[in-house]
Amino acid sequence: MKKYVTTDDSHYGLLDSLENNSEENDFVVNGAEGEMDTAEDEQNNHSQSDHCHTLLLSQREKRSPERVLWLVVVISALHITAQLVGGVLANSLSIIADSGHILTDLVSFLISIFMIRISVVNSNRRFTFGYLRAEFIGALASIFIIWTITILMIIFATQRIISGQMTVDTRIMLISALVGIVFNFVMVLFLKWSSGGAQFSHGHSHFTNSSVNGADNGPKENVNVRAAFIHVLGDFIQSIGVLSAALLIRWTDFQLADPLCTYFFSLVVLCTSVPIARDIFLVLMESTPSFLDFDAVRRDLNDISFVRGVHSLHLWSVGTERSAAIAHLIIDDESKFIEVTKAATKLLQNGHKIHFTTIQIEIPEPIHSQCKFCKTLPDS
């Protein structure tokens, strides 16, 4: 009778015959997602440090920032309405561009909420990794919206400069800018209060494993709230820019300030969205995540006792909170395959914070020295 020991992310499965050193079944089934039959007695013997769920967040932790983001969405929707009305009445493209920027942030907040909800959906036989990559698809759609709005704003600003129709109502423009500053200031204070007064910085990457790369990064809600904080802070700065343009026009009658301000905001939006698009491209191409050192992982695996060589090592991101690894390990002593598999799994999971791991144990064969896929990969 076949007997497996499997859990959700990175445990190994064994056949009963392996325990008897059978030559017929000389492999290790690893990295199953929980669809196989499990042996409860062996699962209960897993230590907490080896258990895959130690790296995963509970559903409550995943969805805790949802109420915060919903409130930000409501405030942002009111803000967009006020800015659009003010922009149309003032005939100011910079205010309309500001509302477009807020709209893209609103879409980002909704995507975050959607991903919080979908991230708790379990994997199945068709989607064995769940819906973790849906976030990247949504983010890509959001970027296309950003670029479309930005290009339209640039076209409208250029048309105004060419036509010379640049007269704006500075009084309404000033009021709209002040309203935007108030809205953003309220959201900044709320987001900071919601995070427990944590210090904010833009030191995170939008598509890297910042929450598991270190033990002191705090709960996942901090990542979501910090991202929202950065978006709102950007809107706050943009509102100050609109206010400055309005004052410049009012005091000097320099009407070009409005379309020039639109150009500036468009450039800012493009500069902030291009790196995100690059990160999405790298994830979809299954490149090695920036928080993982390929050479270090390979070296650590090679340093495991009884391991003679490492090949077919692949590292990639499954989602913003999950990473995966596949590795083939060559050992001389077949009797040590269980020990080596355990050590490699623990190394990848605990040492490098990789969630999904698959370890294949092999014995030395002549093909290993000839196969190009068994050799060290080039840098690029």
Sign of the alpha-carbon dihedral angle for 109, 115, 117, 120: negative
CATH number of 59-284: 1.20.1510
Q: Where are the alpha helices (DSSP H) in 5-92?
A: 16-19, 40-43, 59-63, 66-90
- Give residue 105's pLDDT band: very low, low, confident or very high (50, 70, 90): confident
How high is the pLDDT of residue 122? Answer: 77
How high is the pLDDT of residue 298? Answer: 95
Backbone angle region of 323, left / alpha / beta, with phi > 0 → left and psi within -120 to 50 → alpha: beta
How high is the pLDDT of residue 38? Answer: 37
How high is the pLDDT of residue 184? Answer: 86
How high is the pLDDT of residue 171? Answer: 87
How high is the pLDDT of residue 37? Answer: 39
3-state secondary structure of 57: coil
Out of 1.10.10.350, 3.90.1150.10, 3.30.70.1350, 3.20.20.80, which CATH number does the structure's domain 12-55+290-374 have? 3.30.70.1350
How high is the pLDDT of residue 13? Answer: 39
User: Of the given ranges (77-81, 202-206, 272-276, 358-362), which has the lowest mean pLDDT?
Assistant: 202-206
- Give tens-digit pLDDT for 111-148: 778 877 776 677 888 888 888 787 787 778 778 877 88
* Res 220 pLDDT > 60: no
* Res 213 pLDDT > 70: no
Q: How far is C-alpha 26 from the geometric centre of its chain's CA atoms?
A: 38
Q: Which of 4, 3, 8, 5 is nearest to 322 (CA)?
A: 8
* Res 299 pLDDT > 80: yes
- Give tens-digit pLDDT for 313-349: 999 998 766 899 999 999 988 899 899 999 999 999 9
Q: In the chain, count of helices (H) and strands (E)?
A: 12, 5
- Give tens-digit pLDDT for 234-267: 778 778 888 888 898 889 888 888 888 888 878 8
Q: Where in the chain is the domain with CATH 1.20.1510?
A: 59-284
- Give residue 91's pLDDT band: very low, low, confident or very high (50, 70, 90): confident
Q: Where in the chain is the domain with CATH 3.30.70.1350?
A: 12-55+290-374
- Give residue 297's pLDDT band: very low, low, confident or very high (50, 70, 90): very high
How high is the pLDDT of residue 33? Answer: 38
* Three-point CA angle 247, 252, 253, nearest 5°: 90
* Three-point CA angle 147, 152, 156, nearest 5°: 150
The whole-angstrom separation of Cα 189 and Cα 226 is 12
State which of 15-24, 275-284, 300-309 shows the largest mean pLDDT.
300-309
- When pLDDT is averaged across residues 370-378 and rounded to a whole number, the result is 59
The whole-angstrom separation of Cα 36 and Cα 125 is 11
User: Of the given ranges (76-90, 213-227, 321-335), which has the lowest mean pLDDT?
Assistant: 213-227
How high is the pLDDT of residue 127? Answer: 85
